């Protein structure tokens, strides 16, 4: 069979299996003027050299697959098709192998587009989403494992899958875990403490000391308002909050309120002044400390950085040291999220909710899930609906599904001034709480942590903070991603972290890595040693929560705010 006949036959077969859009995209490889990569897309230009090489590679791989399929079921190395049902069914195995060949080719086709980097990234992202959705494993008609289970259970798996689908439709999101097994305050967010202050934006939690003596400088954690704080307190054995308390720090945490319509007018300034700055002031008042230590995680770190810059502009230095965990301060590199950001999209959000309204938590959660569609979307579609399985209990995924809203004015301002225009690193460009922002005024020592595989705050972006903050700095890189890299308790003995012993912070991460050394296990111990150096002397631990009638215990931790649903 010659190459033209093979191409025609393959295109016809793939059209029958996966639909017309597949074959149109593949036929673009042989067209002198290829069409758009996605159905309905405008025509795009390709590198002709890459296109020719890609065509030749596709023909070679298709010939091999065809020849192999005539003799035996092709071997497929992809966990979506790793079950016995796929290997035992030659037709299913061939459909999986054909899909992977087309997916690989289309990704290469996206990379061959001649366009600016952002356009190419958007095309690549669109192709990735399309390919993830088109996998034969996502459809009962092609999923050999789901068919096998349906036969073994005499159809019960299909009935259970329909029940799961109706349940998820009613709750508004795909179940990633058995959410009925978790309850905030009962088996997640269980570190003992009390709410000692609240306003309309947040509750301040103070935790019961676990040591007879505590450091004189209290410790305040500012988590992201885009998620709930208990990612830092999932279980006693992986709680960063409990770990800080065990190390002898008098620990306070901001628990952001889940906004409803009554907060739909709140702005970035409100979260800085009435959020982070108010929390710093309350902790000082309760403890009597002239200075405290503070930590910001993700968006909480950006809010904390803004608060510190506002305070510095006012001549105040209430924070002795700051820790920034997977935090964007310099927004030059925002990774895959950059595909969503341009003038038109930001302007749309400003018109839609810039003067009031809510960015729904489920919309945000869906966006983040589709950054990893195979792991966080289609994996559960297959398990829950095609196989009728109940996902196993997993505290982190329960937290991941516990979404939070954002006030529209806060969100729109954040998108423009940080993601689109990167104004925070431009001295005097940004005004927050009436003060001109200048990060050059932040001379306090800082600990900066970034995760190597983070897709929310790319490791280069985390490292970028070392170049815009002028004080004494320590940078540490951990393995894994945005959450798993941070929540890595020492007792588990998992993953690694990298430290540069000479303390040098060259211009780029690549240069820093040349002198960095890998250390097994958690970065928490290194951070704890660093924080103790800024915590002052030890004093007797307090016997109760808060201070006097103004900051008395309101209710037990974790409080009411964290239990509010979006």
Residues in CB range of 381: below 8 A, 6 or more apart: 138, 174
Residues in CB range of 326: below 8 A, 6 or more apart: 297, 298, 301, 449, 450, 451, 454, 456, 457, 462, 482, 485, 486
Catalytic residue among 225, 298, 305, 433: 298
Cis peptide before 242 (omega within 30 of 0): no
For 139-145, which contacts have Cβ atoms below 8 Å and span 24 or more sequence positions?
139/386, 140/386, 142/17, 142/92, 142/95, 143/85, 143/92, 143/382, 143/386, 144/83, 144/85, 144/86, 144/88, 144/89, 144/92, 144/93, 145/83, 145/84, 145/85, 145/86, 145/387
Distance CA 215, CA 71 (A): 72
Distance CA 345, CA 411 (A): 12
Distance CA 69, CA 10 (A): 13
Residues in CB range of 260: below 8 A, 6 or more apart: 358, 405, 564
Burial class (CB in 10 A: 0-12, 13-18, 19+), 429: middle
Distance CA 354, CA 265 (A): 9
C-alpha 127, offset from chain centre: 21
Query: Which structure tokens are listed for 534?
Result: 């800024």
Nearest to 93 by CA among 109, 111, 75, 105: 75
Distance CA 125, CA 120 (A): 9
> DSSP character for 77?
-
Note the helical H segments in 323-447: 343-353, 361-369, 373, 379-381, 395-401, 408-414
Query: Which structure tokens are listed for 388?
Result: 């009728």
Active site residue 305: no
What backbone torsions phi and psi does residue 286 show, to the nearest 5 degrees? -70, -45
Catalytic annotation, residues: 298
């Amino acid at each position: 069979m010659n190459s033209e006949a093979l191409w025609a036959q393959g295109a016809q077969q793939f059209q029958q299996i996966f639909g017309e859009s597949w074959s149109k995209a593949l036929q673009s490889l042989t067209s002198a003027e290829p069409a758009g990569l996605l159905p309905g897309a405008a025509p795009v230009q390709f590198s002709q050299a890459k296109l020719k090489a890609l065509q030749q590679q596709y023909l070679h791989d298709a010939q091999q697959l065809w020849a192999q399929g005539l003799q035996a079921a092709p071997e497929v190395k992809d966990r979506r098709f790793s079950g016995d049902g796929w290997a035992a069914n030659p037709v299913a195995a061939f459909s999986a192998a054909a899909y992977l060949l087309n997916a690989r080719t289309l990704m290469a086709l996206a990379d061959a587009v001649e366009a600016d980097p952002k356009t190419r990234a958007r095309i690549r992202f669109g192709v990735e989403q399309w390919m993830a959705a088109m996998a034969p494993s996502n459809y009962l008609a092609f999923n050999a494992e789901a068919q096998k289970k349906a036969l073994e259970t005499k159809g019960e798996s299909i009935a259970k899958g329909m029940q799961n689908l109706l349940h998820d439709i009613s709750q508004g999101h795909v179940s990633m875990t058995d959410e009925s097994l978790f309850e905030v305050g009962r088996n997640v967010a269980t570190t003992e403490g009390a709410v000692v202050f609240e306003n309309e934006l947040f509750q301040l939690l103070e935790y019961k000391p676990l040591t007879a003596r505590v450091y004189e400088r209290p410790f305040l954690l500012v988590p992201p308002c885009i998620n709930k704080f208990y990612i830092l307190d999932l279980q006693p054995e992986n709680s960063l909050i409990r770990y800080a308390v065990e190390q002898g720090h008098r620990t306070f945490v901001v628990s952001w309120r889940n906004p409803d319509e009554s907060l739909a007018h709140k702005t970035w300034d409100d979260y800085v002044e009435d959020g982070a700055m108010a929390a710093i002031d309350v902790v000082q008042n309760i403890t009597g400390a002239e200075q405290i230590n503070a930590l910001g995680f993700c968006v909480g770190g950006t809010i904390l950085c803004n608060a510190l810059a506002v305070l510095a502009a006012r001549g105040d230095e209430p924070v002795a040291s700051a820790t920034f965990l997977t935090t964007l301060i310099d927004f030059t590199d925002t990774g895959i999220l950059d595909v969503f950001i341009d003038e038109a999209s930001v302007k749309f959000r400003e018109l839609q909710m810039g003067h009031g309204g809510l960015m729904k938590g489920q919309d945000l959660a869906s966006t983040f899930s589709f950054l990893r569609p195979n792991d966080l979307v289609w994996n559960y579609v297959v398990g829950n609906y095609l196989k009728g399985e109940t996902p196993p209990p997993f505290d982190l995924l329960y937290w991941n599904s516990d979404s939070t809203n954002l006030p529209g004015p806060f969100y729109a301002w954040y998108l423009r001034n940080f993601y689109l225009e990167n104004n925070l690193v431009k001295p005097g460009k940004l005004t927050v709480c009436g003060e001109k922002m200048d990060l050059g005024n932040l001379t306090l020592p800082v600990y900066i942590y970034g995760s190597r595989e983070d897709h929310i705050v790319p490791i280069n972006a985390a490292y970028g903070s070392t170049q815009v903050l002028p004080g004494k700095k320590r940078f540490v890189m951990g393995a894994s991603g945005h959450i798993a890299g941070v929540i890595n308790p020492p007792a588990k003995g998992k993953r690694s972290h990298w430290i540069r012993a000479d303390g040098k912070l060259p211009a780029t991460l690549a240069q820093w890595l040349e002198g960095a050394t890998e250390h097994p296990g958690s970065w928490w111990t290194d951070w704890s040693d660093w924080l103790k150096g800024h915590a002052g002397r030890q004093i007797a631990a307090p016997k109760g929560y808060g201070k006097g009638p103004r900051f008395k215990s309101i209710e037990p931790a974790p409080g009411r705010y964290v239990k509010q649903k979006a």
